[in-house]
Amino acid sequence: MIWDDKDVEYLNYREAKGGQQTGGTTPDILAVHEPSGIAIRVSDERSQIVAKGVALERLRLMFHVMQDFANDFMAAKRKNEAS
């Protein structure tokens, strides 16, 4: 599977935060990479634009980690089958 930023869908929603000293709502982003099904939620940024960038960066990292894991697994499986 090859990574393409066009395969990422962003869902915006607001979550109310409680308490007197909070700023009301925070913009949360749920980013989903459709082909792999990986989903990342970012709620620690105050700007949705920044949150989208953070979500995309985290999705890419998770995608590549999962690809490396799958490649290592398949290599080990082939090695065990050859022995």
CATH code of the domain containing 56: 3.30.160.20
Q: How many domains does the chain have?
A: 1
Beta strands across the sheet bearing 38-42: 8-16, 25-33, 38-42
- Entry pTM: 0.74
3-state class (DSSP) for residue 74: helix
pLDDT tens for residues 26-35? Answer: 678 999 999 9
Kindly tell me if the per-residue pLDDT of 13 is higher than 80. Answer: no
Domain span at residue 39 reads: 5-82
> Is-contact 43 28, C-beta < 8 A?
yes
